[in-house]
Structure 1
Amino acid sequence: MVSSPYRLAIVGTGGIAGAHADSVRSHLDGRIEMTAAVDPDTARLEAFQERFGVEKGYASLKELLDSEELDLIDLCTPPGLHAEGAIAGLEAGVGVICEKPPALSLAEFDRIAAAAAASEADFAVISQHRFGSAAQRVRNMLASGVLGCLAVAKCDTLWFRPEEYFAVDWRGRWESEGGGPTMGHGIHQIDTLLSIVGPWSEVVATAHRHRRATNTEDVSHAIVTLANGASVAITNSLLSPRETSQIRLDFDTATVELEHLYGYGDDNWSVTPIPAATEEVMQAWGGEPRDIGSGHAAQFTAVADALDGKSAPPVTVSDARSTLELITAIYASAFSGKAVRAGEIDPTSTYYQRMDGPGAPWPDRK
Structure 2
Amino acid sequence: MSRPYRVAIAGTGGIAGAHAEALRAAVTGPSAGAGTSGGDGTSVGVGTGRAELVAAVDVELDRAKTFAETWSIPLATTSLAEALDSGQIDLVHICTPPGSHVELAAQALVAGATAVVEKPIAISLAAVDELLAAEAASSGSVAVVSQHRFGSGARRLRGIVESGAFGRPLIATCNTLWYRDAEYFAVPWRGSFEIEGGGPTMGHGIHQMDLLLATLGEWTEVSAVAARTSRDTSTEDVSMALVRFESGVLASVVNSVVSPRQTSSLRFDFENATVELDHLYGYEDQDFTVTAAPGFEDEITAAWAKGPAGQPSNHLAQLTAVLDALDSGQEPPVRLADARTTLELVAAIYKSSFSGRPVARGGIASDDPFAQRMDGTGAPWS
TM-score bracket for the superposition, by shorter chain length: over 0.9
Instruction: List aligned pairs for 1:156-167, cutoff 5 A.
Output: 156-167=175-186
Q: Which residue of 1 aligns with 2:243?
A: 224
Q: CA deviation at 1:27?
A: 4.3
Residues 125-181 of structure 1: CA deviation (Å, up to 9, x unaligned)? 000100000100011111111022111100000000001101111100100000000
Measured in 2, the distance between the counterparts of 1:68 and 1:337 equals: 52
Q: Which residue of 1 aligns with 2:72?
A: 53
User: Does 1:10 pair with 2:9?
Assistant: yes
Measured in 2, the distance between the counterparts of 1:319 and 1:123 equals: 11
1:248 equivalent among 267, 279, 304: 267
Q: Which residue of 2 aligns with 1:262?
A: 281
Say whether the 8 Å CA contact 2:192–2:198 is kept in structure 1: yes
Q: Which residue of 2 aligns with 1:76?
A: 95
Q: CA deviation at 1:17?
A: 0.5
Secondary structure of the 2:68 match is helix
Equivalent pairs counted in the alignment come to 362
Q: CA deviation at 1:66?
A: 1.9
Give the root-mean-square deviation of aligned CA atoms: 1.1
User: Does 1:145 pair with 2:144?
Assistant: no
TM-score relative to the length of structure 2: 0.93
Residues 217-269 of structure 1: CA deviation (Å, up to 9, x unaligned)? 00000000011111000000000001000000001111010000000000000
Secondary structure of the 1:175 match is coil
Q: Which residue of 2 aligns with 1:171?
A: 190
Measured in 2, the distance between the counterparts of 1:59 and 1:10 equals: 11
Measured in 2, the distance between the counterparts of 1:32 and 1:147 equals: 40
Secondary structure of the 1:302 match is helix
Q: CA deviation at 1:278?
A: 2.0
Q: CA deviation at 1:37?
A: 1.1
Secondary structure of the 2:296 match is helix
User: Does 1:85 pair with 2:104?
Assistant: yes
Secondary structure of the 1:177 match is coil
What is the identity percentage for the equivalent residue pairs of Structure 1 and Structure 2?
Answer: 52
Measured in 2, the distance between the counterparts of 1:94 and 1:27 equals: 19
Q: Which residue of 2 aligns with 1:26?
A: 25
Measured in 2, the distance between the counterparts of 1:200 and 1:41 equals: 41
Q: Which amino acid aligns with 1:248?
A: R
Q: Which residue of 2 aligns with 1:338?
A: 357
Measured in 2, the distance between the counterparts of 1:280 and 1:117 equals: 46
Instruction: List aligned pairs for 1:85-234, cutoff 5 A.
Output: 85-234=104-253
Q: Which amino acid aligns with 1:191?
A: D
Measured in 2, the distance between the counterparts of 1:100 and 1:68 equals: 27
Measured in 1, the distance between the counterparts of 2:177 and 2:306 equals: 31
Measured in 2, the distance between the counterparts of 1:27 and 1:62 equals: 26
Measured in 1, the distance between the counterparts of 2:192 and 2:94 equals: 20
208-217 or 57-66: bigger deviation: 57-66
2:293 equivalent among 270, 274, 288: 274
Residues 307-329 of structure 1: CA deviation (Å, up to 9, x unaligned)? 11111110012210100000000
Secondary structure of the 2:154 match is helix
More helix by share: 1
Q: Which amino acid aligns with 1:4?
A: R
TM-score relative to the length of structure 1: 0.97
Measured in 1, the distance between the counterparts of 2:363 and 2:308 equals: 38
Q: Which amino acid aligns with 2:189?
A: W
Measured in 2, the distance between the counterparts of 1:171 and 1:271 equals: 37
Q: Which residue of 1 aligns with 2:36?
A: none
Measured in 2, the distance between the counterparts of 1:71 and 1:27 equals: 15
Measured in 2, the distance between the counterparts of 1:205 and 1:40 equals: 37
Instruction: Flag as ranges the 4+ runs of structure 1 deviating above 4 A.
Output: none
Measured in 2, the distance between the counterparts of 1:37 and 1:161 equals: 28
Secondary structure of the 1:112 match is helix
Q: CA deviation at 1:3?
A: 5.1
Q: Which runs of 5+ in 2 are unaligned?
A: 28-46
Q: CA deviation at 1:50?
A: 1.1
Q: Which runs of 5+ in 1 are unaligned?
A: none
